[in-house]
């Protein structure tokens, strides 16, 4: 048997293939790669598949299973009808319009949406997006698990032209009107209850009712979504005015969209000497890399909300880390085997940096009940440098 030599051209297609990236680069639209993006300003190009404009908004922390792309529909236009065997959550960045679905039960369904709406496309359902304005463009952020699907099957015809239907993914008719069902899960002593809203469409994330989750920081609010009975997860969290959330870490691929308010996030790996800072406001999206601590800070004079989309829903966790998150591991101190850093354990530079940002923005801190803020501000800056402090983890990671 003849052995292949090391000629790259001869081995093309036979070694280290990535069908998802090959597909993305072959779609003929810009492929952007960065730590995070301002999705409202990214360059788009003509996307024949959608008969619209679009681009890929890839991030360094997207991991193996998740990705994001944009669809831009020009004034008065519509996309081509499309179906695909990967899940997709659509967050409306700007514009008003209508989505039409051809459901597995033979019925057609349409619903209207506007800025900061969120909806899911039921698996392998044909859909079409209409711009409702003759003057302004529509821009949609589509978080998806196309990398998982395309790399698993590596057959475009199977993914984009598959006739198989999933009627169980449709849900109830009222789930396309903005209604849904609240499911409350009590997770045991010492762990906050989990509030899950099951639907296919949320008309406005800014006004949607959230529930207390003080374990992530005093005054924090949250709700999880099960959308179109999917394996992907989404939740919305709110950071109170004058406060910030506790740091934690998790698997890769969580695409975090700022919904309203302004602030920044700090990210770091154990042993880092400096933080990675990502400022955000509506339109900004980033993904914390695998096992990288990250912490969200509100610096404006109103509560700040964000949307996080990832693989592994509360109903179908898919991977063990997501199952642990659903059980409360994401809001359990690392001192107790969890993945969260409590305020008393965090690096002293963190609160000082935030206080300086709050002074600049003119918003008073509401965290004097936790920190001795005059003492923190009195510490010389040169004494707040060095390797980021990490509290010792006790017990198994969850």
Quick one: 192 and 272 in the same domain? yes
Question: What is the pLDDT, as a whole number, of residue 290?
Answer: 96
Q: Tell me which of 341, 371, 393 is where a domain ends.
A: 341
Helix (H) or strand (E) holding 267: strand 263-268
Quick one: 333 and 206 in the same domain? yes
* Domain-embedded: residue 371: no
Name the 3-class secondary structure at 313: coil
- DSSP secondary structure, 24-92, as one string: HHHTSS-EEEESEEETTT---EEETTTTEEEEEEEETT-TTT-EEEEEEE-TT-BPPPB--SS-EEEEE
Quick one: 27 and 99 in the same domain? yes
Ramachandran angles phi, psi of 76, nearest 5°: 75, 5
CATH number at residue 20: 2.60.120.10
* Domain-embedded: residue 387: no
From the number of C-beta atoms within 10 Å of its C-beta (0-12, 13-18, 19+), residue 171 rates as buried
| pLDDT tens readout for residues 9-39 | 666 778 899 999 999 999 999 999 999 999 9
Computed over its alpha carbons, how large is the radius of gyration of the chain? 22
Quick one: 166 and 275 in the same domain? no
Quick one: 179 and 159 in the same domain? no
Q: Which domain holds residue 143?
A: 15-170
pTM for the whole thing? 0.93
Quick one: 150 and 23 in the same domain? yes
Quick one: 112 and 245 in the same domain? no
Quick one: 234 and 251 in the same domain? yes
* Domain-embedded: residue 376: no
* Domain-embedded: residue 33: yes
* Domain-embedded: residue 31: yes
Q: Tell me which of 324, 341, 358 is where a domain ends.
A: 341
- Pairing of β 126-131 and β 97-102: antiparallel
* Domain-embedded: residue 384: no
Task: Pick the closest to residue 148 from 255, 67, 256, 226 (CA basis).
Answer: 67
* Domain-embedded: residue 391: no
Question: What is the pLDDT, as a whole number, of residue 383?
Answer: 73
Question: What is the pLDDT, as a whole number, of residue 6?
Answer: 54
Q: Tell me which of 299, 316, 341 is where a domain ends.
A: 341
Number of domains composing the chain: 2
- Pairing of β 31-34 and β 52-59: parallel
Task: Pick the closest to residue 319 from 231, 236, 226 (CA basis).
Answer: 231
Question: What is the pLDDT, as a whole number, of residue 326?
Answer: 82
Question: What is the pLDDT, as a whole number, of residue 11?
Answer: 67
Question: What is the pLDDT, as a whole number, of residue 49?
Answer: 98
Question: What is the pLDDT, as a whole number, of residue 387?
Answer: 53
* Domain-embedded: residue 365: no
Please name the residues in contact with 342: beta carbons below 8 A apart, sequence gap of 6 or more: 246, 333, 335, 391
Quick one: 77 and 185 in the same domain? no
Quick one: 237 and 133 in the same domain? no
Task: Pick the closest to residue 127 from 176, 168, 93 (CA basis).
Answer: 176
**Local confidence pLDDT in tens for the 398 residues of the chain:** 444 455 666 667 788 999 999 999 999 999 999 999 999 999 999 999 999 999 999 999 999 999 999 999 999 999 999 999 999 999 999 999 999 999 999 999 999 999 999 999 999 999 999 999 999 999 999 999 999 999 999 999 999 999 999 999 999 889 999 999 999 998 776 778 899 999 999 999 999 999 999 999 999 999 999 999 999 999 999 999 999 999 999 999 999 999 999 999 999 998 898 999 999 999 999 999 999 999 999 999 999 999 999 999 999 999 888 888 888 778 889 998 889 999 999 998 999 999 999 999 999 999 999 999 999 999 887 777 655 656 655 444 44
Quick one: 154 and 190 in the same domain? no
Question: What is the pLDDT, as a whole number, of residue 323?
Answer: 87
Whether 294 contacts 247, CB under 8 Å = yes
Quick one: 157 and 274 in the same domain? no
């Amino acid at each position: 048997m003849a052995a292949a030599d090391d000629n790259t051209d001869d081995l093309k297609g036979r070694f280290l293939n990535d069908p998802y990236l090959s597909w993305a680069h072959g779609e003929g639209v810009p492929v952007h790669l960065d730590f995070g993006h301002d999705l409202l300003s990214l360059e788009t190009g003509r996307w024949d598949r959608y008969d619209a404009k679009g681009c890929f908004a890839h991030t360094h922390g997207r991991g193996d299973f998740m990705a994001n792309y944009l669809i831009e529909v020009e004034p008065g236009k519509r996309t081509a009808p499309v179906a695909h065997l990967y899940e997709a959550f659509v967050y409306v960045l700007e514009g008003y319009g209508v989505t039409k679905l051809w459901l597995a039960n033979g019925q057609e369904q349409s619903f209207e949406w506007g800025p900061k709406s969120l909806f899911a496309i039921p698996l392998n359902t044909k859909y079409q997006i209409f711009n409702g304005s003759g003057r302004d463009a529509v821009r949609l952020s589509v978080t998806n698990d196309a990398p998982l699907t395309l790399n698993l099957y590596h057959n475009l015809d199977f993914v984009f032209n598959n006739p198989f239907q999933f009627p169980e993914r449709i849900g109830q008719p009222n789930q396309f009107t903005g209604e849904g069902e609240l499911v409350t899960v009590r997770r045991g002593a010492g762990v906050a209850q989990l509030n899950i809203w099951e639907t296919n469409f949320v008309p406005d994330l800014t006004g949607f009712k959230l529930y207390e989750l003080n374990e992530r920081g005093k005054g924090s609010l949250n709700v999880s979504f099960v959308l179109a009975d999917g394996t992907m997860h989404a939740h919305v969290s709110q950071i109170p005015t004058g406060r910030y959330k506790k740091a934690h870490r998790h698997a890769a691929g969580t695409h975090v969209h700022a919904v309203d308010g302004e602030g920044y996030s700090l990210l770091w790996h154990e042993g880092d000497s400096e933080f990675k800072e990502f400022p955000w406001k509506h339109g900004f999206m980033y993904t914390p890399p695998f096992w990288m601590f990250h912490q969200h800070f509100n610096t404006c004079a109103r509560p700040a909300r964000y949307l996080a989309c990832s693989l592994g829903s509360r109903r179908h966790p898919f991977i063990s880390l997501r199952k642990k998150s659903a059980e409360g591991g994401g809001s359990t101190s690392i001192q107790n085997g969890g993945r969260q850093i409590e305020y008393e354990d965090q690096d002293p530079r963190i609160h000082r940096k935030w206080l300086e940002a709050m002074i600049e923005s003119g918003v008073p801190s509401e965290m004097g009940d936790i920190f001795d803020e005059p003492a923190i501000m009195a510490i010389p800056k040169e004494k707040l440098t060095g390797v980021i402090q990490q509290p010792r983890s006790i017990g198994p990671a969850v």
